Amino acid sequence: MKVKVPAEEDFKSAAHDERVTARLGLWLGICFGLCFVTGLLSHAIQHPPTWFYWPSRPVNLYRVTQGTHVISGVAAIPLLLAKLWSVYPKLFARPLAKSLVNLVERGSILLLSAAAFFELITGILNVAQNYAFPFFFPPVHYAVAWIAVGSILIHVAVKLPIVRRALKASTKGDERPGVLSRRGFLRSTGVVTGVAVVATAGATVPFLRRVSPLSWRTADLPVNRSALAAGMTRLDPGWRLKVITPGGTRQFSLDELNKLPQTTAELPIACVEGWSASATWTGVSIPDLLHAVGAAPGAEVRVESMERNSIYRVSVLPSPHTSDAKTLLALRLNGEVLNADHGYPCRIIAPSRPGVLQTKWVGTLEVLS
């Protein structure tokens, strides 16, 4: 049997109709838009510019924005595949370029497609903690997001007349042959996208916890860095929490921390890698602790872990969080003393923050301003 490269005209099914393409493009654009905005937020929370403000309430805010980031990313996978199937015949258009403008346009689509696949592939690998790529994920995923969104904007600018025409055109009649009708293809894409979301979203959406078969979270409250990995399985019996203030340094034994007023709060851990889980945490609220050392709530607090070999061993609690009574130096989890994996002897747990900033095995707190 001879296999020949198909020509653009060989693709006859209704999926390749521009009315299908425009609608899929719109849905995909919404998903990428959500991904981009929530991604920028997550980036800004972790690397805050001076003008940036992120509130500590509602406590689930970051959980929702980052959950949206990952869910819209998962939804974009079937949508991107459907969109590219819709325009796949154009890949075989000959000549390769009718004009310089046409060449630039085709090049920009290659760039768009490359950036889109790169974001979705690295993203889905990262939530699986499958670090197969040869680079450090966050800065590269962040940079290529700008490339993807820039080329989407250029693509929309180029195609706007066709998009307008396609969205306004009558959706009745002139059906083409094929497995699915135009509407059928769109509906089916919707179904596939819905299944992809339901199959994974249980990692962060509570009522889907027992539903999603492919969820990367497989317990009620996962641990993202174990005590073993961090080298924090044993605590020096003479351990003291050091609290550095502009006025001097105070030390607290675990016993003394337990004797300070205790606050209990229901707070989520919301990981940048797309899972989240709520639990009941008890400990000294940061405003109470600041009062105890003669500092004012609302001052920024630098949190330093006792673990040595992690780029995430230090975090800074911003002003809205250090004045929030639900920001805890937690000593207990669901009523029991923290275990080593959850950060014994004490950890930070603050509302509406990425999990990577909920520093465990805290050794030093430093009041900054």
Partner 1 sequence: MRWVLGVVGLAVLGYGALLAIDTKPVLETGFWFVGGTILHDVVLAPAVGVVGWLVVRVVPAVWRAPVAVGAAITGVLALLTLPELVRRYPAPVNPGLHERNYLLALGISVAVVWVLVVAVGVVRTARARVPAE
Give the Cα separation of 81 and 141 in Å (integer). Answer: 20
Interaction between residue 238 and partner 1 (CB under 8 A): no
Tell me the two tokens of residue 30. 């919404």
Interaction between residue 199 and partner 1 (CB under 8 A): yes
> Do the Cβ atoms of 263 and 283 come closer than 8 Å?
yes
Interaction between residue 148 and partner 1 (CB under 8 A): yes
Interaction between residue 152 and partner 1 (CB under 8 A): yes
Cβ 287 to partner 1, closest distance in Å?
31
> In the window 85-144, what residues touch partner 1 (CB under 8 A)?
85, 88, 91, 110-111, 113-118, 120-122, 124-125, 127-135, 139-140, 142-144
Considering only residues 191, 206, 231, 233, which one is a binding residue for partner 1 as defined by CB under 8 A?
191
What are residue 314's DSSP bridge partners? 304
Within a 10 A sphere around the Cβ of 303, how many other Cβ atoms?
23
Interaction between residue 30 and partner 1 (CB under 8 A): no
Give the Cα separation of 284 and 300 in Å (integer). Answer: 17
Quick one: how far is CA 363 from the chain centroid? 28
> Do the Cβ atoms of 57 and 324 come closer than 8 Å?
yes
Cβ 369 to partner 1, closest distance in Å?
30
Residue 354 is given by DSSP the state: B
CB nearer to partner 1: pick between 150 and 298: 150
Considering only residues 104, 156, 162, 296, which one is a binding residue for partner 1 as defined by CB under 8 A?
156
Interaction between residue 167 and partner 1 (CB under 8 A): no
Q: How far apart are the first and last CA of the chain?
A: 76
Interaction between residue 40 and partner 1 (CB under 8 A): no
Angle between the N-to-C axes of helices 137-168 and 100-127, in degrees from 0 to 180, rounded to the nearest 10: 130
**Binding range to partner 1, per CB under 8 A, among 99-107, 175-183, 260-268, 322-330:** 175-183
> In the window 243-282, what residues touch partner 1 (CB under 8 A)?
275
